[in-house]
Amino acid sequence: MARLDGIDPNKTSFLMRQVFTRVRKIFGKDLTPQKITARVPRVFWVNTITEFLLGVKAKVPLRQRSLVQLRTAARVGCPF
């Protein structure tokens, strides 16, 4: 469990809500790390843009990359 409580996605700016909606569509739920980084908008946007750019430049398909990331997080015990 995270030491900080995440921010409610419905109480964020319009663009942040769009990002949360997209992530919810991909993973089926709001991710705790994303809700925590949304507390500091600059960190949230840097993280979001970085992930997007890494996804664009990746040679591995997005679906496979997401599965690998989720499996790795589960193996190391990430509670998100």
Per-residue pLDDT at 41:
93
pLDDT value for 40: 92
Please state the domain count of the chain.
Answer: 1
Residue 51: inside a domain? yes
Note the pLDDT of residue 70. Answer: 82
pLDDT at 80: 59
Q: Which residues contact 59 (CB under 8 A, 6 or more apart)?
A: none
Residues of the chain with pLDDT under 70: 1-2, 79-80
Residue 80 lies in a domain: no
pLDDT at residue 2 in the model: 54
Placement of tokens 């949360």 in the chain = 20
Give me the domain span that covers residue 13.
9-74
